[in-house]
């Protein structure tokens, strides 16, 4: 595995010095510290940081071409996903980049056997003391704190490289990344005590697209696995239980532990057939899954209970990645590993057979992520998509805002020093290579007010959503929110699902929880069921979903339950409105599994493949 090849650089070890090139350092990257971060003190010179050096991927455009061809139902290559080896070859750097970066590191006393290389050799990983990193990068590191999230980081706002290395290094982190990577559960709608069922005798709610055309009345106040299967037309479908190779997974971060005893109570309550079963736990970078009941995580329990409850008996995995705030750097503190998300991506890309469907309910404000880092992470998602993995992400719980607006003005501000009011996109939801999932509530469904949606300021609008998003923008009144969003950016969410009053078990008790943290594992659950139907027929998994979603939205709109009521306020505005077709609140809407299964259970979905 990638991680096992890394070696800690022994402090003080001297390596035969190489002759240093005569060169001038120029700035590689410079950022404004995001709002809310304060510089505390210089970082201790002996504090060890793990530097990840991203080398350019000269053939990424070719990989992207393959990704769109194998993901586009109009293309004859639809479903012909690439192998791990093929993807690794397409993202490999030029040998000159490896040689020159290795030479540079060795000139600073870093031995070649202490440099970790990713399988594709596009990342070099070293562990060095802050003092040496400052010398290499011609910078100064400081300890920064973020009071709202109780986080501390060792970061700099600018770093430099020798001129000759600029074209051979895309980025180095941790340097300028000030992340408050957080769970996407609404602070308003989470962890409420479960209420007694007062709706059991009420007549069912008529929903034409639902299984049997009806949904239990109780689903208007409490969401269960049964509610979701009724509402999304999946009653009666039984997965193959892994016999066809299908798998589903959710990711866990920030010491969010998925409790097995709580899962057992959840299964007894909602999925009796699953009692006495569980999921596989895979640790990344030393991640734990503490089973002390008081350590159970609401985020982790929500994700695992519903994603795995919907898809039982499909084999399920919980990835737990180490790293959690608060992080207080000092001489006695272990290495700074406060970028767990990148560590998970590197791990999963090194697996030969990753799960076909993976849900993540974590994210950050796009503007706090340096463009070089966001682009590189987004490209890692493309690698997974090209290999046939479907990735769903919560769209966020701040409406068109960032979920953390100024408490006095309820406005959102740019991070470029201007402090201008601006809608705040969420990342990774804004990446065009993932499927962003917004939120709904009630039966019949309406958009929930906190559903994250809008337009990226970093990623341009991909071609697959050009028609749908242009139609939405054309319906806006002239001048609507002019200057507050980028109308040419990647628009999100792509789809949505229920996101409120989910009945889970936490520390042995039933509670109701909400947020787009619920939407992502829910939608992923139904994607996994669709994969199950395809794999059972000898068809490849769906992989990168978005080109197919937008094709279905145009050709077979009844495969989604269009949400036309509601809006997503934020930043002192009402936000966008839900509307017919795609909108920046709920995307194309929620899944009609029965209809989607009809569409994707053939080799050529929609019959759209061109000869």
pLDDT digits (tens, 9 = 90+) for 263-315: 999 999 999 999 999 999 999 988 999 999 999 999 999 999 999 999 999 99
First to last CA, the chain: 41
DSSP string, 256-302: -B--HHHHHHHHHHH-GGGTT---EEEEETT------GGGB-HHHHH
Which of these, 514, 548, 361, 366, lies nearest to 454 by C-alpha position?
366
d(CA 222, CA 443): 11
* pLDDT in the model for residue 418: 75
Q: pTM for this structure?
A: 0.92
* Mean pLDDT computed over 53-68: 98
Which of these, 591, 588, 584, 587, lies nearest to 568 by C-alpha position?
584
- Residue 378 above 50 pLDDT? yes
- Residue 569 above 90 pLDDT? yes
**Any binding-site annotation on 53?**
no
Q: Which tokens go with 542?
A: 């769906």
d(CA 29, CA 72): 36
Of 496, 517, 528, 579, the catalytic one is: 517
- Comparing 103-112, 323-332, 353-362, 599-608, which segment has the lowest mean pLDDT? 323-332
Q: Which tokens go with 275?
A: 């009692």
Of 255, 299, 397, 445, the catalytic one is: 299
Q: What's the mean pLDDT when you consider all of the chain?
A: 89
What angle do the packed helices 593-600 and 546-555 form, to 10 degrees?
110
**Any binding-site annotation on 562?**
yes
Query: Would you call 299 a catalytic residue per the annotation?
Result: yes
d(CA 261, CA 48): 38
- Residue 193 above 80 pLDDT? no
* Mean pLDDT computed over 402-430: 74
* pLDDT in the model for residue 411: 62
Q: Which tokens go with 385?
A: 């998509």
Percent of the chain with pLDDT over 90: 75
pLDDT digits (tens, 9 = 90+) for 105-143: 999 999 999 999 998 999 999 999 999 999 999 999 999
**Any binding-site annotation on 581?**
yes
- Comparing 10-14, 95-99, 561-565, which segment has the lowest mean pLDDT? 10-14
Residue 611 and residue 603 in contact, taking contact as beta carbons nearer than 8 Å: no
* pLDDT in the model for residue 228: 98
- Residue 330 above 80 pLDDT? no
Query: Would you call 151 a catalytic residue per the annotation?
Result: no
Q: Which tokens go with 8?
A: 């800690």
- Residue 34 above 90 pLDDT? no
pLDDT digits (tens, 9 = 90+) for 146-185: 877 777 889 999 999 999 999 999 999 999 988 776 665 5
pLDDT digits (tens, 9 = 90+) for 490-524: 999 999 999 999 999 999 999 999 999 999 999 99
Of 303, 336, 346, 532, the catalytic one is: 303
Q: Which tokens go with 544?
A: 């990168």
* Mean pLDDT computed over 349-359: 97
Residue 192: band (very low, low, confident or very high) from pLDDT cuts 50, 70, 90: low
- Residue 22 above 90 pLDDT? no
d(CA 505, CA 489): 39
**Any binding-site annotation on 563?**
yes
Query: Would you call 76 a catalytic residue per the annotation?
Result: no
What are the chain's domains? 3-57+92-178 (no CATH), 238-329+340-505+514-607 (3.40.50.200)
Q: Which tokens go with 322?
A: 């180490």
- Residue 6 above 50 pLDDT? no
* Of 199 and 482, more confident: 482
d(CA 221, CA 52): 47
Which of these, 335, 352, 296, lies nearest to 508 by C-alpha position?
296
Q: What residues contact residue 473 under an 8 Å CB cut-off, 6+ apart?
A: 487
């Amino acid at each position: 595995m990638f991680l096992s090849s890394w070696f800690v650089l022994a402090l003080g070890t001297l390596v035969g010095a190489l002759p240093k090139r005569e060169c001038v350092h120029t700035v590689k990257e410079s950022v404004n510290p995001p709002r809310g971060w304060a510089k505390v003190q210089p970082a201790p010179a002996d504090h060890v940081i793990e530097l990840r050096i991203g080398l350019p991927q000269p053939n990424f455009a070719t990989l992207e071409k393959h990704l769109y061809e194998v993901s586009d139902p109009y293309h004859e290559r639809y479903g012909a996903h690439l192998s791990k080896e093929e993807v690794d070859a397409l993202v490999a750097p030029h040998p000159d980049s490896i040689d020159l970066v290795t030479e540079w590191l060795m000139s600073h006393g870093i031995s070649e056997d202490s440099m970790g290389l990713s399988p594709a050799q596009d990342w070099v990983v070293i562990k060095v003391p802050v003092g040496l990193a400052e010398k290499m990068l011609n910078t100064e590191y400081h300890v920064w704190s973020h009071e709202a999230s109780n986080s501390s980081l060792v970061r700099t706002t600018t770093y430099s490289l020798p001129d000759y290395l600029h074209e051979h290094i895309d980025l180095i982190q941790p340097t300028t990344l000030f992340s408050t990577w957080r769970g996407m559960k609404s602070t308003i709608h989470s962890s409420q005590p479960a209420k007694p069922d007062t709706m059991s005798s009420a007549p069912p709610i008529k929903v034409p697209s639902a299984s049997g055309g009806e949904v239990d009345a109780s689903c208007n106040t409490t969401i269960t696995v049964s509610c979701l299967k009724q509402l999304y037309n999946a009653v009666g479908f039984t997965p193959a239980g892994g016999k066809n190779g299908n798998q589903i997974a959710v990711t866990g971060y920030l010491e969010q532990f998925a409790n097995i005893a709580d899962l057992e109570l959840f299964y007894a309550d909602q999925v009796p057939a699953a009692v006495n079963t569980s999921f596989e736990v895979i640790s990344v970078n030393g991640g734990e899954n503490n089973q002390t009941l008081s350590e159970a995580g609401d985020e982790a329990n929500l994700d695992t209970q519903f994603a795995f409850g919907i898809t039982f008996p499909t084999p399920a995995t919980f990835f737990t990645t180490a790293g959690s705030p608060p992080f207080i750097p000092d001489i006695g503190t272990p290495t700074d590993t406060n970028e767990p998300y990148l560590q998970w991506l590197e791990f999963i890309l090194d697996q030969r057979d990753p799960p076909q469907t993976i849900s993540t309910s974590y994210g950050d404000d796009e503007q706090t992520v340096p463009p070089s880092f966001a682009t590189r992470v987004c490209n890692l998602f493309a690698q997974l998509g090209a290999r046939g993995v479907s990735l769903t992400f919560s769209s966020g719980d701040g409406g068109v805002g960032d979920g953390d607006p100024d408490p006095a003005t309820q406005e959102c501000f740019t991070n470029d020093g201007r402090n201008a009011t601006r809608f705040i996109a969420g990342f990774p939801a804004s990446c065009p290579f993932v499927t962003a999932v917004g939120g709904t509530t009630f039966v019949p469904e309406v958009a929930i007010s906190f559903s994250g949606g809008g337009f990226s300021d970093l990623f341009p609008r991909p071609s697959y959503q050009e028609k749908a998003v242009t139609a939405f923008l054309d319906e806006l009144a002239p001048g609507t929110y002019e200057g507050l969003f980028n109308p040419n950016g990647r628009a999100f969410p792509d789809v949505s699902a229920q996101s409120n009053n989910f009945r889970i078990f936490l520390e042995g008790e039933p509670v109701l929880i909400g947020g787009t943290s619920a939407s992502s594992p829910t939608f992923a659950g139904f994607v996994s069921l669709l994969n199950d139907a395809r794999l059972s027929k000898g068809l490849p998994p769906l992989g990168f979903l978005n080109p197919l979603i937008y094709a279905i939205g145009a050709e077979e709109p009844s495969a989604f339950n269009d949400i036309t009521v509601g809006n997503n306020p934020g930043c002192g505005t009402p936000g966008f409105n839900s509307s017919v077709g795609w909108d920046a609140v709920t995307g194309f809407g929620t899944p009609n599994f029965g209809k989607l299964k009809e569409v994707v259970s053939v080799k050529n979905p929609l019959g759209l493949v061109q000869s």
